[in-house]
Amino acid sequence: MKRRRFIQTVGAYMALGVAASLPYGVARLLSPYVHAVEHEHIPLPGALADPDEFARACIGCGLCGEVCPPRCVEFKQREGGSDVNTPYINPAKKACILCNKCMEVCPTDALTETPVREVDMGIAQIDRAACYPWVDEGICGACVVICPLGETAIKFTFANIYKPAVEEGCVGCGQCVEVCPEPSLPIRIVHRSEGTIAKHGVAVRRRSY
């Protein structure tokens, strides 16, 4: 009798576990992987450098989005796969202000509190074939003015005072992207290995809203 009750109890707990995991599993099935445009899906500040490790560490709690003052944190949905419900930032819509709140509230090691100048979300890259000052279509400088880190991140070139150039101190917050007035967005956040100047002939995607 005791053995039967034990088996029934174990079976009940197993069924409960399966039922509890169904929503998460269904969410992934309903969100098949769709390739995401990288510069429209940049990591949050303090995020684990390896995307796979970040996806495993993130529990999809949404706290980072709740505390974000500018509401720049979005969550992957159609991108699907193991990344479903993980956060990202699209700077063309709303950029990070480096307030550190998402890092402070994260309950896992997916986000780690990091000094502002040590944050690495990527680096800004300028397509000089489309940037207003670089093609002599007028004076702009919005990206230089808005940057919270000043000349260590972006500044005007010495020889061409109104033409912006990205420095190694850029942490990839994306404020320059958000403020850029050119519809083709000649400035974007990319992986550091891609450099600060877009190669000739690289297509620039239109701003998405």
Q: Which residues is 75 bridged to in the sheet?
A: 87
Q: Are 123 and 196 in contact (CB under 8 A)?
A: yes
Q: Are 121 and 111 in contact (CB under 8 A)?
A: no
> How high is the pLDDT of residue 136?
86
Q: Is the dihedral of CA 70, 187, 160, 142 positive or negative?
A: negative
Question: Taking Cα atoms as reference points, which of 35, 194, 172, 173 lies closest to residue 127?
Answer: 194
Per-domain boundaries in the chain: 38-115, 122-194
> How high is the pLDDT of residue 16?
44
Query: 38-115 — its CATH code?
Result: 3.30.70.20
> How high is the pLDDT of residue 32?
53
Question: Taking Cα atoms as reference points, which of 72, 91, 98, 97 lies closest to residue 178?
Answer: 91
> How high is the pLDDT of residue 91?
97
Query: 122-194 — its CATH code?
Result: 3.30.70.20
> How high is the pLDDT of residue 84?
85
**Sites in the chain below the pLDDT cut of 50:** 1, 6, 10, 12-26, 28-29, 201-209
* SS3 readout for the chain: CHHHHHHHHHHHHHHHHHHHHHHHHHHHHCCCCCCCCHHHCECCCCECCCHHHHHHHCCCCCHHHHHCCCCCEEECCCCCHHHCCCEEECCCCCCCCCCCHHHHHCCCCCECCCCHHHCCCCEEEECCCCCCHHHCCCCCCHHHHHCCCHHHCEEECCCCCCCEEECCCCCCCCHHHHHCCCCCCCEEEECHHHCCECCCCCCCCCCCC
Residue 168 burial (10 A CB sphere; 0-12, 13-18, 19+) = exposed
Whether 38-115 shares its CATH topology with 122-194 is answered yes
